[in-house]
Structure 1
Amino acid sequence: MKFTLNEQVDAIFSNAVFHWIDNQDGLLDSIYNGLKINGSLVCEFGGYGCTETIHSTLQKVFEAMALEYKRTFYFPTIILKKHGLQTVYAALFDRKTALIGEDGMKNWIEMFVIQPFKGLDDSLKNEIIDETVKSLKPILYQNGVWDADYVRIRLKARKI
């Protein structure tokens, strides 16, 4: 992703977006170009390991059915310097996130994991999701609540 601003700004803020962007280099170059010298980037987004339990289980179920599981999210570690941004503060941390209802995990998969299911008929899709939910239940379902194993990066960086 690339973008341009009409003029450079003092700060760019983002929450829970960067992990959806395929072209991280283009994104960070655009941020650099959009910031004034000493301008700040403040953001939080999915970090390395985010929802890995869910994705690795989906991948195993896909592979058991001789299907390829395409990962479409970008969950990085903390890297900014090569784009001219100096990290002022950074934290990579676990943030378990409760999912709503008994079908919380099924609903989460249906909402956020779209690309791997493209081209599959509904019965196969449902079979994969049901098997994944069954496999995840002993790990991510406790006391009547589903949790997604989110990992987040929270950071502030400055253009140098």
Structure 2
Amino acid sequence: MRAEKWDAELYDAKHAFVWEKAKGLLELLAAKAGERILDLGCGTGSLTAEIAASGAEVVGVDRSPEMIAEAGKKFPALRFDVSDARALPFSHEFDAVFSNAALHWIPEAERVVAGVARALRAGGRFVAEFGGKGNIGSVVAALETALTRLGISPDDANPWFNPSIADYASLLEKHGIEVREAVLFERPTKLEDGERGLATWITMFGASFLDRVPEPERPQFLQEVELAARPALWKTDHWVLDYRRLRIAAWKCAS
């Protein structure tokens, strides 16, 4: 799992696509007034607020104190808690657990799923989207190539958990959550900031690679990443990342 410290302001300023592309996932959740819903990995709370607008009671949780602090400032009427997805403190109290763009950060997936199962009431639903098999493959290859060119081992630098449909469905069903919809799809994602877009993205999301590089060598490292990624990901005047998303809708068995 990546380091806990996040730059919440950079996240909101340059990476709004994280929540802006979640309309279909919100429609799949179909939150209703009076429901109690957990937003797992809520970030700075934008989707938590959209769910709350349905009349549902929403609790947003995230491991990052920086994200939760920003969420609380943006949406002071909503509840946000710092909580580790691997050790959720809830028991049979939610009608739904929702998660967008968070679970690929947590390789201890079984602990997460066990916590989701505990948090849900019987018959409750789990609606989630995160990186699936092959997600940002060109980015990972470029990051590993750049480390190697600088004489730094890329072993174990990749922090992301990007499962197949079969693997994740099996994990859910092991914990009594029945999968009714699962799709793995391509979602090319345009980055802001023009030529600087990929470096900005790496600064936000690629800390596990960047932290291996001595600070004086980081500009060269970012240039090496851009050089390796350009043939696949540069489009005239902006970067487009090769996102692949896994979207799941599943229900906790009634008994």
Normalization by structure 1: what TM-score?
0.92
1:119/1:131 CA distance change after superposition, 3 Å: closer
Which structure 2 segments of 5+ residues have no match?
Answer: 1-85
* Counterpart position of 2:161: 74
Identity of aligned residues (%): 29
Q: 1:54-80 CA deviation, whole Å, 9 max, x = no partner?
A: 111111221233212211111111212
2:191 to 84, 99, 103: 99
What is the alpha-carbon root mean square deviation over aligned residues?
Answer: 1.5
On the 8 A contact 2:143/2:209 being kept in 1, the answer is: no
Match runs of 1:1-160 below 5 Å: 1-69=86-154, 70-78=157-165, 79=168, 80-100=172-192, 101-160=194-253
Q: How far is the alpha carbon of 1:119 from its aligned partner?
A: 5.0
On the 8 A contact 2:146/2:228 being kept in 1, the answer is: no
Which structure has the higher relative contact order (CA within 8 Å, separation 6+)?
1
User: Following the alignment from structure 1 to structure 2, what is the Cα–Cα distance between the partners of residues 119 and 138?
Assistant: 25
Normalization by structure 2: what TM-score?
0.59
Return structure 1 stretches of 4+ with deviation > 6 angstroms: none
Which SS does the other structure have where 2:151 is aligned? coil
More helix by share: 2
Which SS does the other structure have where 1:75 is aligned? coil
Which structure 1 segments of 5+ residues have no match?
Answer: none
Residue type of the partner of 2:115? Answer: S
User: Following the alignment from structure 1 to structure 2, what is the Cα–Cα distance between the partners of residues 57 and 66?
Assistant: 14
1:24/1:107 CA distance change after superposition, 3 Å: same
Which SS does the other structure have where 1:67 is aligned? coil
